[in-house]
Amino acid sequence: MNSTQSAMQEWRGFWFLPIAAGLGYATATMYVYSMGPFIAPIQAEFQWSRAQIASGITIAAFFSAIFGIPMGMLVDRIGPRIVGLVGAALMCGCFALIGTATGDKTNWIILWGCLAVSTLWVQATVWTSAVNSRFHTSRGLALAITLSGASFAAAVFPVIATALIEKLGWRMAYMTMGGLWFILVFPILLFGFRGAQDGKRNKITDADLTPATPLTGVSLQQGLRSPALYKLVAAAGFFTFTAVGIVVHFVPILTDRGADPLSAASVASLIGIFSIVGRLGTGFLLDRFPGYLVGAFAFLIPIVACALLIYDGANPVSQSIAAAIFGLTLGSEVDVIAYLAAKYFGLKHFGALYGAMVMALSLGTAFGPLGAGAVFDAYQSYEPFLILTAVLMGLSALALLSLHSVPDVNQLKLEQAS
């Protein structure tokens, strides 16, 4: 059977899975991509610094980082379906609870601590594990569609949040978004989210649909000893620290340059729109070109966006171009890391090994928005953080370039047996 026929067979059997997984992944990023519009009203009511407000993301993402590997091991053991369903319900409920914040810092920490627990159950490991188990020939495109859920979130959540805040206030905006998202997403996950690991719980047998290739790969110990693991971890961490820091603060970056909140949110939504383009384009390229080259190029282009915001940040055209560039590259990072992880380490212990990369992604998400807020509080400008972003993006690209060629997954069987 040629690769085209194999890819078509995969899509005929599991076309709905990447869509459902994508909505699940959007749920995981809801608290990150919706934060920007909430910063100003929360700051006005509580008189907090921007770093204090962004500390909520730090709490949630840092907690997620600590338990990245254990949660990956749980996915390997019980399958992604149960984990994802529990996580979607928890995330929507805890997100809505943020609207009950009283202005007391202990209360803020408790609310975000609850949300932190929910993030464990909706990590990228959950959604990519299911998709990786069903797609082999067309894995790059399937992962791209799955991870476009974050792109969708980046496109719609800032606009929805801004509109709801203007009509209902920031408290009811949190509650309304959490409730509506649960009503939309949970039934879709219940119906359409199931990986090969969940086959025994499916009325449709694996013999009917699941590819016959068993899950293979390196042992957990071999993976943890591999230099490639730490290069991927470094690339993921550096990139996410800066990229998420910029994206979360993108609306304030533009309003500080004179844009009104709704216009700034509209420009910021370009990040999500172009992120979808970036993800789909990356998926297409990953199926045809070396993943380390695709990733290195994607991690370099934000340097141009940083330069535009530093030197011409008040110009709406430059703002839009910068948003588009950040969108394109934001649509690539998780796709590249997940794709290379599956190629290097196989799927037998994918959850645990990719969990190490999720840890790096989560740490970047935890400290990037906090760092950007702290830089603004110290300098009353985001320019130093934009410079740091350019530097760390370059280091991320170098880490991927140092990987060179990627081993064929069949070689992993020999490593496993040795």
The confidence score (pLDDT) of residue 197 equals: 78
Domain extent listing, the chain: 15-417
The Cα 339–Cα 139 span in angstroms is 8
Q: Domain 15-417 belongs to what topology?
A: Growth Hormone; Chain: A; (1.20.1250)
The confidence score (pLDDT) of residue 389 equals: 92
What DSSP line would sit under 49-105, residue for residue? -HHHHHHHHHHHHHHHHHTHHHHHHHHHHH-HHHHHHHHHHHHHHHHHHGGG--S-H
Check if the beta carbon of residue 85 is closer than 8 Å to that of residue 192.
no
Residue 235 bridge partners (DSSP): none
Measured in whole angstroms, the distance separating CA 335 from the mean position of its chain's CA atoms is 9
Q: Is the pTM of this model over 0.85?
A: no
376: alpha, beta or left, given left = phi > 0 and alpha = psi -120 to 50?
alpha
What DSSP line would sit under 186-204, residue for residue? HHHHHHH---GGGGGG-SS
**212 DSSP assignment:** S
- Write down the residue that tokens 């907690």 correspond to: 63
SS3 (DSSP) at 106: helix
User: What's the sign of the alpha-carbon dihedral 369, 375, 380, 384?
Assistant: negative
214: alpha, beta or left, given left = phi > 0 and alpha = psi -120 to 50?
beta
Selection from 233, 239, 369 nearest residue 299 by Cα:
239
What DSSP line would sit under 264-304, residue for residue? HHHHHHHHHHHHHHHHHHHHHHHTTS-HHHHHHHHHHTHHH
Question: Which residue type is seen at 16?
Answer: F
pLDDT tens for the chain, 418 residues: list them: 456 557 788 888 888 999 999 999 999 989 988 888 898 899 999 999 888 888 888 888 888 778 877 887 888 888 899 999 999 999 999 999 999 999 998 999 999 999 999 998 998 889 988 998 888 878 778 887 887 888 788 778 988 998 999 999 999 999 999 999 999 999 999 999 998 877 654 444 444 444 445 556 666 677 777 788 888 888 888 988 988 888 888 888 888 887 887 788 888 888 878 888 887 787 778 777 877 788 888 888 899 999 999 988 788 888 899 999 988 887 677 778 877 877 777 767 777 777 777 788 778 888 888 888 889 888 888 899 999 999 999 998 888 888 865 554 445 444 444 4
The confidence score (pLDDT) of residue 41 equals: 93
Q: Collect contacts of 46-50 with beta carbons under 8 A, ≥24 apart.
A: 46/101, 46/103, 49/373, 49/377, 50/249, 50/252, 50/373, 50/376, 50/377
The confidence score (pLDDT) of residue 165 equals: 94
The confidence score (pLDDT) of residue 407 equals: 52
